[in-house]
């Protein structure tokens, strides 16, 4: 173990400041921030000016800096920082889920090439140590699925709208004020953020590197007052669920809102909390719950990675070496409620199996089994909303079906 790690930090926003504070309040790790690279020279900051630099080379070329900690918003710039740091023989900690999702296989190969690790626990579900558990605790378990609430911002918004009767705009604004929502809120509310996290989780759950554009994401921005009323009348909650599961040599993964029964443990996960449920052949079903958004929860996860590097920890990507024959697929049918504003936007022919339809307060509703690809195309139409059924029947073909109830 290195006695006193020196850190070079990129970015000093919500997570960067959280890391600074948790680092100075803990006594379990000997590490200090030597330099912090930021862009805005005019911005007022709460710590002494001597910490800051505006030149990335001052960190990347400093032989005293052991670990580069990357916490910026720009995914392209973040990847260049990570790649250059590895080339310069420095370990990396990052929480940039978009950058990781887009470049994870390349980062995996860069780690092998340069012999330096990249850790990113803080990129997936904030304070929940899910990646370390997937790598270590579940390394020999036959995991069948991983699913849950992967985005604290949308869970916070849904809690405020559903339970406290706040408007969507008011709830979103408050989430941004608290630092829960991303600088671009569409990353959260349209389901991109949990998709990026799911892509990363799939690599550590099933050993499969998937590109984000392969994973279908549907957000919460089209949920209406009628949807909320329907949920309350039927004792349902509405949650944005990210899930991936393995079946017959294929891995399926997608993100979508879903009605879930109020007796379900996920229904009680409120505000900015995340929840991850893992199903394995041996450990069976286990549920992890923790804060998924905010300065301190993510900052503490980043600090945990820094501490792990002090003991030369690295991800081994064990599942990638155990089961390399898996392929990713979107060839699924799901049961969904589809709402729309105008006639002819959605038709019965869009469904593989149409169950019912009705109209209320100017909106049209259709319910039935429908392909993921069709759902994705419908979700891009103005005024079309999609929520999965409480027990969404997912079928791989006409003869193979599994229950996809969140339970």
What CATH number is associated with residue 143?
3.30.360.10
Q: Which of 92, 123, 154 is the last residue of a domain?
A: 123
Q: Is residue 308 part of a domain?
A: no
CB 386 within 8 A of CB 338: yes
- Count CA within 13 A, CB hemisphere, residue 333: 19
Segments forming the whole domain that contains residue 401: 333-405
Q: Is residue 196 part of a domain?
A: yes
Q: Is residue 310 part of a domain?
A: no
Residues 116 and 150 in one domain: no
CB 118 within 8 A of CB 111: yes
Distance CA(131)–CA(10), nearest Å, equals 23
Question: pLDDT at position 1, please?
Answer: 54
Residues 11 and 92 in one domain: yes
Q: Which residues of 252-265 are buried (b: 16+ CB within 10 A; e: fewer)?
A: bbbbbbbbbbeebe
Residues 286 and 384 in one domain: no
Q: Is residue 306 part of a domain?
A: no
Q: Which of 302, 328, 354 is the last residue of a domain?
A: 328
Which has the closest alpha carbon to 294: 26, 25, 75, 17?
17
User: What domain count does the chain have?
Assistant: 3
Question: pLDDT at position 396, please?
Answer: 62
Distance CA(327)–CA(317), nearest Å, equals 17
Question: pLDDT at position 141, please?
Answer: 72
Tokens standing for residue 276 = 């991850």
CATH label of the domain that carries residue 80 = 3.40.50.720
Residues 209 and 276 in one domain: yes
Residues 115 and 101 in one domain: yes
Dihedral of alpha carbons 120, 124, 126, 132, sign: negative
Distance CA(237)–CA(260), nearest Å, equals 5
Dihedral of alpha carbons 203, 208, 209, 214, sign: negative
Q: Is residue 227 part of a domain?
A: yes
Q: Is 366 left (phi over 0), alpha (psi -120 to 50) or beta?
A: beta
Q: Is residue 197 annotated as part of the catalytic site, yes or no?
A: yes
Question: pLDDT at position 189, please?
Answer: 95
Tokens standing for residue 297 = 């929860």
Distance CA(147)–CA(42), nearest Å, equals 42
Question: pLDDT at position 399, please?
Answer: 40
Q: Which of 69, 99, 123 is the last residue of a domain?
A: 123
Residues 54 and 113 in one domain: yes
Contacts of 99 (CB under 8 A, 6+ apart): 75, 76, 78, 79, 82
Residues 100 and 151 in one domain: no
Q: Is 359 left (phi over 0), alpha (psi -120 to 50) or beta?
A: beta
Q: What is the pTM of this model?
A: 0.94
Residue ranges of the chain with pLDDT lower than 70? 1-3, 182-183, 323-324, 393-407
Residues 96 and 165 in one domain: no
Residues 141 and 14 in one domain: no
Question: pLDDT at position 398, please?
Answer: 44
Q: Is residue 74 part of a domain?
A: yes
Which has the closest alpha carbon to 275: 260, 388, 177, 283?
260
β-pairing, 118-119 vs 91-94, is: parallel
CATH label of the domain that carries residue 380 = 3.30.70
Residues 19 and 70 in one domain: yes
Helix (H/G/I), strand (E/B), else coil: 57: helix
Q: Is residue 204 part of a domain?
A: yes
Q: Which of 197, 239, 291, 369 is catalytic?
A: 197
Q: Is residue 297 part of a domain?
A: no
């Amino acid at each position: 173990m290195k006695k006193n790690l020196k850190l070079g930090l990129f970015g000093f926003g919500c997570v960067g400041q959280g890391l600074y504070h948790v680092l100075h309040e803990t006594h379990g790790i000997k590490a200090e921030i030597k330099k912090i690279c930021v862009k805005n020279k005019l911005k007022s900051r709460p710590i002494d000016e001597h910490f800051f630099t505006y030149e990335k080379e001052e960190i990347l070329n400093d032989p005293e800096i052991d670990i580069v900690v990357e916490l910026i918003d720009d995914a392209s710039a973040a990847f260049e920082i990570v790649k250059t740091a590895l080339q310069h023989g420095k370990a990396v900690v990052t929480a940039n889920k978009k950058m990781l999702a887009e470049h994870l296989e390349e980062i995996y190969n860069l780690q092998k090439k340069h012999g330096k690790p990249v850790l990113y626990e803080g990129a997936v579900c904030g304070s929940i140590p899910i990646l370390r558990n997937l790598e270590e605790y579940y390394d020999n378990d036959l995991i069948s699925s991983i699913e849950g609430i992967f985005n604290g911002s949308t869970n916070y918004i849904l809690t405020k709208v559903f339970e406290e009767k706040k408007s969507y705009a008011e709830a979103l604004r408050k989430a941004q004020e608290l630092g829960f929502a991303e600088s671009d809120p569409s990353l959260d509310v349209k389901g991109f953020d949990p998709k990026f996290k799911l892509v990363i989780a799939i690599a550590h759950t099933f050993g499969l590197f998937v590109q984000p554009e392969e994973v279908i994401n549907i957000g919460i921005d089209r949920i209406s007052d009628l949807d909320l009323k329907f949920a309350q009348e039927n004792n349902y909650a509405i949650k944005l669920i990210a899930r991936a599961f393995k079946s017959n040599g294929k891995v399926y993964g997608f993100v979508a809102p879903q009605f879930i029964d109020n007796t379900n443990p996920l229904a009680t996960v409120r505000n900015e909390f995340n929840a991850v449920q893992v199903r394995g052949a041996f450990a069976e079903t286990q549920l992890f719950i923790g804060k998924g958004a905010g300065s301190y929860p993510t900052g503490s996860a980043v600090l945990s990675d820094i501490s792990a590097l002090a003991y030369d920890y690295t991800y081994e990507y064990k599942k990638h070496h155990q089961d390399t024959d898996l392929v990713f697929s979107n060839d699924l049918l799901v049961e969904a409620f589809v709402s729309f504003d105008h006639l002819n936007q959605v038709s019965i022919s869009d469904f593989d199996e149409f169950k019912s339809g009705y109209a209320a307060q100017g909106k049209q509703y259709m319910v039935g089994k429908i392909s993921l690809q069709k759902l994705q195309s419908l979700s891009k139409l103005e005024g079309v909303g999609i929520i999965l059924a409480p027990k969404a029947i997912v079928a791989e073909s006409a003869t193979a079906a599994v229950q996809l109830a969140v339970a």
